[in-house]
Amino acid sequence: MLLLSLFAPPSVVSLRSTEQLNRIANRAIKVGRHQDALKCYETALTSGSDPCRTPLLHALHLQRMQRPSAQVRAAFSQGAFIDRGNPRLLAELLIAWGLFESKQAEMGRAVRLLRRAVHLDASKSDVLRWRMFRTALDAQQRGDRERAGARAPPRVAATMEAEAPPAIAVRRPPVRYTVPIQNLGWRGRPERGEDPAKWYDAQGVREGPPRNYWRQSLDERTHRAEMRVIDVLVGGGSGDELREACEDLEYRMGIKAPQRHRKLLGPWAPLATSGARIATAGDGGGLRAPALVSVRRDGAARTYENRYGEFDANLDAGEAVAFELRDCEGRTAVTVEAAAADNERRLVVGADAAEWSADGSITYLSDYLLIQRRDRDDGETPRDVWVRVVDGDPSAPVYPY
């Protein structure tokens, strides 16, 4: 690299420190060597070491070089994926991305990015008080309210207008613990007459937290975050609240091929389509959904075992997968599709009597939820939200902690 020979001794060529590469790039920018600075940032991004602030610096440098907006936007998007594990860095990048979008007259997108940044780092909240963003935020909230009743498909909207619409009772999924045989423990819950200074388990007071408590508490935090999406939906939350609840999860999904992942298999119930609620709250915290879709292998089952139990194996590209729909009146329809290596849109269930579309790209998949996005002409990305169906009384308690 020409830049390295001009601004650093030869030994720097072999260095893989992103901090050093960022410093060299900064020196190059000061003397007008923008292309050499870009090479430094690109090398730092592919070095495999801690990226530091490189994703943000890279995107800002492309903006400085007046590259096409699509290229700058792609750099910000890549940076958001790289920084997703560091809330502080991600918040900085999202603010810079939002400011870029505002210069492109994409105020709706800019406000969504800034709100996400403030959610990650509350110290950045002043940016939403700027006049141009306050105006866009007010317009966005008005639009959410106006669209709230217009997104549901006509067939679903007609059933929601009835006093007692037919629906299938669905239980909220309880916590799925990574170590299923562990002895669960918790700090005392005052609302249940327990001493908050003591630890408890099913047998009563114990001397301290149980083994694997760190794993138990992580499982419970994950479950709470995903149940928040359901709470927003059935509680009548706004479109912004649903978007934020979904984005909290989408930014953390690590599954590379969700349409072939084992967690796609099993029964699901739709809760929202195109961002509009189609499920309602049921008795005792349960849910009422208009249909169920069971996803299964069309051939023989394949499983694998590890120390935590036996699980379905991932699907192979091209493997036949059956999608069986059952609506609230007992009608069924089955469609067989090939498991896809990509994450493209597809219609998976259809019939004259009843149909259900699951054609968005999957942005989140877990033991509890499946979230998809659909492209819209106005640039928004409404969510389809599905919940995994589990056996048991729909009104049975969900939160054991």
Q: Is 175 inside a domain boundary?
A: yes
Q: At a CB cut-off of 8 Å and minimum separation 6, what does 393 contact? A: 171
Q: Is 394 inside a domain boundary?
A: no
**Residue 111 domain boundaries:** 2-147
Q: Is 395 inside a domain boundary?
A: no
Query: For the chain, how many structural domains are there in total?
Result: 2
Which pTM does this prediction carry?
0.57
Torsion angle (degrees, nearest 10) of CA 124, 275, 84, 71: -90
Check residue 382 and give its pLDDT: 64
Shared domain for 227 and 333, answered yes or no, is yes
Shared domain for 133 and 235, answered yes or no, is no
Contact 369, 388 (CB under 8 A): yes
Shared domain for 199 and 87, answered yes or no, is no
Cα–Cα distance between 41 and 78 in angstroms, integer? 13
- One-letter amino acid of 163: E
Q: Is 399 inside a domain boundary?
A: no
Shared domain for 227 and 135, answered yes or no, is no
Contact 279, 156 (CB under 8 A): no
| Burial classification of residue 41, based on how many CB atoms lie within 10 Å of its CB (0-12 exposed, 13-18 middle, 19 or more buried) | buried
User: Final residue of a domain: which of 119, 147, 175?
Assistant: 147
Q: Is 396 inside a domain boundary?
A: no
Check residue 238 and give its pLDDT: 74
Contact 356, 269 (CB under 8 A): no
Handedness of CA 139, 142, 146, 152 (dihedral sign): positive
Shared domain for 379 and 283, answered yes or no, is yes
Shared domain for 196 and 77, answered yes or no, is no
| Residues of the chain falling short of pLDDT 70 | 1-16, 48-51, 134-166, 181, 344-360, 374-382, 392-401
Contact 211, 183 (CB under 8 A): yes
Chain Cα centroid distance, residue 344: 17
Distances from the Cα of 171 to the Cαs of 178, 230, 294, in angstroms?
20, 12, 15
Shared domain for 220 and 260, answered yes or no, is yes
Q: At a CB cut-off of 8 Å and minimum separation 6, what does 79 contact? A: 55, 56, 58, 59, 93
Contact 28, 44 (CB under 8 A): no
| Burial classification of residue 57, based on how many CB atoms lie within 10 Å of its CB (0-12 exposed, 13-18 middle, 19 or more buried) | buried
User: Final residue of a domain: which of 147, 178, 209?
Assistant: 147
Shared domain for 140 and 172, answered yes or no, is no
Shared domain for 80 and 18, answered yes or no, is yes
Shared domain for 74 and 170, answered yes or no, is no
Shared domain for 68 and 202, answered yes or no, is no
User: What are the pLDDT digits (tens) for 119-140?
Assistant: 778 787 777 777 777 666 666 5
Shared domain for 163 and 255, answered yes or no, is yes
